[in-house]
Each structure stands twice: as C-alpha cells, then as structure tokens.
Amino acid sequence: MKAMFAARKMFSVLFTPNPIVIKELRQIVRSRYIVGILFLFLLVQLVATGIALLTTSTLSILNLDAALRAGREMFQILIVILTGACLLFIPSYTGHRLAMERNVSNMDLLFVTTIRPGAIIRGKLLAGMTITVLMFSATAPFMSFTYLLRGIDLPSIFVVLAFNFLVVIAAIELAMCLACVPASKPFKTLIGLAFTAGMITATTTLAVIESEMIDEGIGSQLRSWDFWQPALIVLGILVSISGFLHVFSISMISPSSSNRALPIRIYLAILWLIWGGVAIWAAIAESDADIIFAWLIPFIVLLSMGILAAISENPVPSNRIRRNIPKRRVFARVAFLFYTGPAGGIISNVLLVALTFCISVYCWSLIGHKAHYSSFEEVTEVMIRTPDLG
C-alpha cells in the first residue's frame, strides 16, 4: 500500500502543471520585449532571404556552381541569424526574470509561496525552452527554402538545428545559474555584461563551427561511427554541463537551513563514475592512455572548487538537516560525506581527488605499457620478415 501511495504521489507530481511555467508563459504573451524580438527576428530573416534569393537568381545565370551552392549559403546566413537571436536574447531574458525575483527588495513567487526550488528552476527552464521552440518554429519556413534551392540535405539541417538547440539550453542554464548568485546590483550588472560578451563570442564561435559542419556535409555521415562517436561525446558534455548548472541553481535558491550540498555532491559523484568509466573504456579500446587526461583534468578542477566551496559552509548543521540524517551508523557515516558541512565536503572531495589520481596513474601506466609492448612486437615482427637488402 505504501508503494502504491508513493507511486501515485510521484505521478501526481509529474503530471501536475508547474505554476511557474503558467506564470512565465502568461508573462511572455503580455511581454512587449518578446513580441518585439520575434517581429524583429522575422523581419531580419525576411530581408536576408530576399537578398539571398535575388543574389542567387543573378548568379545562377552567370555561374552554375553558384546556383548549386545557393541553398547551403542561404542556410548558413539563416543559422547565424537564428544563433544570434537565441543566444543574445533568450538567456538574457530568462536570467533577468529570475534575477529580479532573486532580489530581496522585489519578493515574488520565489519567497512568498511553498513552491520547491526545483520546481522554480524547472519552470523557468521550460519557459525559456518554449521561447526557443517558438524562435525555431518561426525560422522553419525560411529553412525550407534552403532545401528547395539545393546544395544542402535535410539530415544536415536537422543535425545543425539539434546542436544549436542544445547549446541554447546550456546557455539558458548558465544564465539562470548566474542570476541565482546572491550579490549586489553593481556586481550583478558586471556579471550581466560579462555574460553578454560571452554570448557574443559564443555566437561567433558557434556560427563558424556550424558553417564547417555544413561544408563537410555532416548529414551524409550519419551511418558512420566517425560521426556518432564525437556526436555522443558532445551530447554528453552539453547534458552534463546543463545538469550541473541546473542542480547548482537549485542549491543556490534553496533555504540556508536546507541541505544544499546534497544534490551537488550526489550529481558530481554520479558524473565522476560515468565519465570515468567512459574514459577508461575509450582508453582501453583505442590503446591510448592519454584519453584518461580528458577525465582527470576537468574533475580535478571541479573537485578542487568543491573543496573551496566546502570550506565556506556553515560548520554547525541546522535542525532541519539533523532531522534528515539516517539513524543507523553505517548510513549516517556515508551521509556525512554528502550532507552540508565543511568536514564532509572536504573529506568527500579529497577522497574523489585521490581516487581520480590513483585510477588515472594506474590506467595510464597499464595501458601505456601494453600499447608500447604491442608496438615493439609489431616492429620486431616487421624487422624479422623484411629481407636484408644489404
């Protein structure tokens, strides 16, 4: 019976509409900022499409190769416009909305309701994703012209758009994480300016990467492992970063008396296990021990930052945290490493750093020795089989 009630509660929570999403969507409909950005976005795309079509019709008469590349060049222009609009406006809008509610002088649903911090962050994220889907839907009619003009295939269009969408989601998570930082208005203004400069740089970089993907015909490589291997790595990196920023944002807006460190430490431990297993498997499969460093360096940096964050935590746990500590000694000792407090945070991060170093050194020496030994055998075999020409 308890399991049935727990399952019923879980399904009711999953299928209950998030009030933050409803609130944000109503604000989006009434917002002149979003409507103005959408109309400006459509106008820019219409002008760019018209100029591209006129240029294409002129060049097609003079040069057949230019006519065959017309769809690709038009898609590159439209994807730059879409990337700039999504990265410059949507994360800024979402982060600004959350920062205004994070301000103590302007209390909103963040403080005056019993909505959980996770529901607040998920609601803000879903609202930002809704605006992103709206922008992608607005550009769909213009993208269809690029396929009709030839020079680009549908798989390439879908791959580039999916990659663009994941990057925008990660940017929204970063904006919300920065908005949750408890700081004064001047410091938040500096953070906003730095974030805007970073988004401008990211737009330029992403436009170059996507142009190279289109030029290489990324859609024609879907049946090859050479495509799926880097694609899965990039997908895993974006999902891991977005998940970490999501968990970190929830922890920052949680009450100070709650166990803020628990979700972050659990998420880092799971991430450490997953990426460690992937790095070791890839190093063994490729016989390249240097792949271990792709797991070693990022997690050493993250865990070192976790040690610094644990030092600044409250050394005396609140009554709310004490009530949630397991009663059994075994579970209590394990929970000590994950609960809020400088001692548990420092010990857990130091243990993970030591394990990371030990596993990396052992795997590197073992895999490197085997790779060196196999290469020496191959060289010896070639030398024996090769006749002496002297």
pLDDT: is 315 or 310 the higher one? 310
Q: How far apart are CA 149 and CA 71, in angstroms?
A: 5
CB atoms near residue 351 (< 10 Å): 12
Highest mean predicted confidence (pLDDT) among 7-16, 254-263, 273-282, 300-309: 273-282
pLDDT: is 278 or 65 the higher one? 278
Place of tokens 């959408």: 38
Q: How far apart are CA 291 and CA 278, in angstroms?
A: 10
Residues contacting residue 271 through CB under 8 Å, at least 6 positions apart: 240, 243, 244
| Phi, psi for residue 303 in degrees, rounded to 5 | -70, -35
Closest by Cα among 198, 384, 343, 368 to 291: 368
| Statement: residue 360 has pLDDT above 80 | yes
How sure is the predictor about 165, in pLDDT bands with cuts at 50, 70 and 90? very high
- CA 350 to centroid of chain Cα atoms: 26
Contact predicate 245/263, CB 8 Å: no
pLDDT by residue (tens digit) across 91-148? 988 888 888 876 655 555 555 667 788 888 888 899 889 899 988 988 888 888 787 7
Radius of gyration of the chain (CA): 26
pLDDT by residue (tens digit) across 176-209? 988 888 777 788 888 888 998 999 998 888 888 8
How sure is the predictor about 322, in pLDDT bands with cuts at 50, 70 and 90? low
Residues contacting residue 239 through CB under 8 Å, at least 6 positions apart: 166
CA 300, 303, 308 angle in degrees (round to 5)?
Answer: 125
Highest mean predicted confidence (pLDDT) among 76-90, 143-157, 176-190, 208-222: 76-90
pTM of the model: 0.81
Q: Please provide the average confidence, as pLDDT, over all residues in the chain.
A: 78
State residue 13's pLDDT score.
53
**pLDDT over 90, % of the chain:** 7
Pull the structure tokens for residue 175: 């904006």
Residues contacting residue 284 through CB under 8 Å, at least 6 positions apart: 367
Closest by Cα among 134, 130, 133, 126 to 176: 126
How sure is the predictor about 228, in pLDDT bands with cuts at 50, 70 and 90? confident
Closest by Cα among 90, 126, 49 to 203: 90
How sure is the predictor about 58, in pLDDT bands with cuts at 50, 70 and 90? low
How sure is the predictor about 170, in pLDDT bands with cuts at 50, 70 and 90? very high
pLDDT by residue (tens digit) across 332-347? 566 667 777 677 778 8
**pLDDT over 70, % of the chain:** 75
Query: Which of helix, strand or coil describes residue 117?
Result: helix
Q: How far apart are CA 230 and CA 151, in angstroms?
A: 24
CB atoms near residue 314 (< 10 Å): 13
